[in-house]
Amino acid sequence: MKTLDLIGGARPNFMKIAPIVDALTAAQRRGSPLAYRLVHTGQHYDRAMSAAFFDQLGIPEPDVNLEAGSGAQAEQTAQIMVRYERLLANQRPDLCVVVGDVNSTLACSIVARKAGVPVAHVEGGIRSGDWTMPEEINRVVTDAVSNWFFTTSVTANDNLRRAGISSERIFFVGNTMIDTLVKHRPHLRPPPCWDRLGLAASGYLVLTLHRPTNVDDPAKLRAWLQTIQESVRGLPVVFPVHPRTAKNLPSPEDSFPAIHAVEPLGYLEFNYLVQHAKAVITDSGGITEEATVLGVPCLTLRDSTERPETVSVGTNELIGTDPARLRPAMDRLFAGQWKQGGIPEKWDGQAAKRMVEVLEKLLANA
Ligand code: UD1
């Protein structure tokens, strides 16, 4: 029997681990010797940010919850490291699987490698080149300590090779986040605000903002909301508000009548909104991938992206961080001039299955 730790910590991790759990369970049913321990670091802990996703995506209860909670960058990362190190001292797996680029990814990869546990990084190799993002530092450091890489794109493969990683450690399996979308797409359902706001297909936009550069300064956040309000031609904008953003939010209903702030939504409800929206305005990375697969125009309020195929192949466009640049892009959207977009290679719902096949071979030889 070979055991692996599967690490989840923050909201965007959960849609990446769900299909891995499914694929491992399927492998076990056909007699695979792979067992897993699901470790939740506790980085996200509100029901709406964590448990709701476990329920909707059918992820089993974590075997361990490290309950690290919130904190400044170093504080949060350190809490996770200390707690995960203690866990490994009691029971060491044969492999630690980390996903994405959040602080939990960074913390557990470092601890595992130092404890002599090999590390596999799911979504390895992506790079924005923007070192002001904590996620970019997490990506670079996690990749530096990882043994194996499960990648989502050809660009990620190239980035890793350029960093000196040999091709036999890189496995281009596709995008596990898209596995989740493909599986749940038939079951997406409208959120409660659908009826309350009288929403209709293509008759509204979806907005998400949570990057420190966009939301930590209340004046900047206000400037974005102002520009969005002025450029949506009266259409409602549904704005599920991340807890980080909520702290700095002016009461939008007063100042920005088009913008409807709602609580963070479940997976099925959020992606229903995206699927039927006229467009998505976001500073997230994962949402640009989902919008691409759903074929919905996506305007990204960042200067760079670690997911360039959402721009070169998909429906995404980088607007930048200057609110003045939003208006011309919205003019093109409303003129019906947005590009069509296609689906990037191997974003087909089978990534986790391919990944587990590789893991079985790697661990059989370990
Ligand atoms: C984290 C990830 C980011 C990801 C985002 C998605 C890092 C560096 N960042 O950012 O890549 O896109 O998750 O959500 O790992 N809070 C709550 N309830 C919770 C969780 C957080 O109220 O369940 C509040 C806390 O006050 C906390 C703040 O939100 O201080 C930020 O949480 P944190 O985990 O530090 O970073 P995110 O901004 O969520």
Do 329 and 320 form a contact (C-beta atoms < 8 A)?
no
Which two three-digit tokens encode residue 177? 């986040």
Q: Give the pLDDT confidence score for residue 251 in this predicted structure.
A: 72
Q: Which of 41, 208, 244 to mutate to test the pocket of ligand 1 (most atoms within 8 A of CB)?
A: 244
* pLDDT, tens digit, 9 for 90 and up, residues 78-107: 999 999 999 999 999 999 999 999 999 999
C-beta of 10 in contact with ligand 1 (< 6 A): yes
Q: Give the pLDDT confidence score for residue 56 in this predicted structure.
A: 98
Instruction: Specify the ligand 1 atom closest to the Cα of 106.
Output: 15
* Rg for the chain, CA atoms, rounded: 20
Q: Is the dihedral of CA 84, 89, 90, 94 positive or negative?
A: positive
* pLDDT, tens digit, 9 for 90 and up, residues 136-193: 999 999 999 999 999 999 999 999 999 999 999 999 999 999 999 999 999 999 999 9
Could you give the count of Cα atoms lying within 13 Å of 36 in the half-sphere of its Cβ?
29
CA of 244 to the centre of ligand 1 (A): 6
Can you tell me the distance from the alpha carbon of 352 to that of 366, in angstroms, rounded to the nearest whole number?
A: 20
Which two three-digit tokens encode residue 274? 């995206």
Decide if domain 2-175+347-364 falls under CATH 3.40.50.2000: yes
Catalytic residue positions? 210
Tell which residue, 308, 361, 325, has the closest CA to residue 157.
308
Long-range (24+ apart) CB contacts under 8 A made by 228-233 are 228/256, 228/258, 228/259, 228/281, 228/326, 229/255, 229/256, 229/257, 229/258, 229/259, 230/327, 231/326, 231/327, 231/330, 231/331, 232/205, 232/258, 232/330, 233/334
C-beta of 139 in contact with ligand 1 (< 6 A): no
| Fold: same for 2-175+347-364 and 189-334 | yes
C-beta of 208 in contact with ligand 1 (< 6 A): no
* Helices 351-364 & 11-29 angle (0-180, nearest 10): 60
Instruction: Specify the ligand 1 atom closest to the Cα of 12.
Output: 6
Instruction: Specify the ligand 1 atom closest to the Cα of 100.
Output: 11
CA of 102 to the centre of ligand 1 (A): 9
Can you tell me the distance from the alpha carbon of 311 to that of 305, in angstroms, rounded to the nearest whole number?
A: 9
Cα 341 to Cα 143, 338, 357, distances in angstroms: 30, 9, 30
Q: Give the pLDDT confidence score for residue 345 in this predicted structure.
A: 98
Can you tell me the distance from the alpha carbon of 62 to that of 71, in angstroms, rounded to the nearest whole number?
A: 22
* Atom 27 in ligand 1: residue holding the nearest Cα: 70
Can you tell me the distance from the alpha carbon of 71 to that of 77, in angstroms, rounded to the nearest whole number?
A: 8
- Which superfamily does 189-334 belong to? Glycogen Phosphorylase B; (3.40.50.2000)
Low-confidence ranges of the chain (pLDDT < 50): none
Domain boundaries, the chain: 2-175+347-364, 189-334
Q: Give the pLDDT confidence score for residue 255 in this predicted structure.
A: 81
* Atom 30 in ligand 1: residue holding the nearest Cα: 70
φ and ψ of 159, to 5 deg: -60, -40
Q: Give the pLDDT confidence score for residue 180 in this predicted structure.
A: 98
* Atom 16 in ligand 1: residue holding the nearest Cα: 243
Tell which residue, 163, 34, 155, has the closest CA to residue 95.
34
Q: Give the pLDDT confidence score for residue 245 in this predicted structure.
A: 95
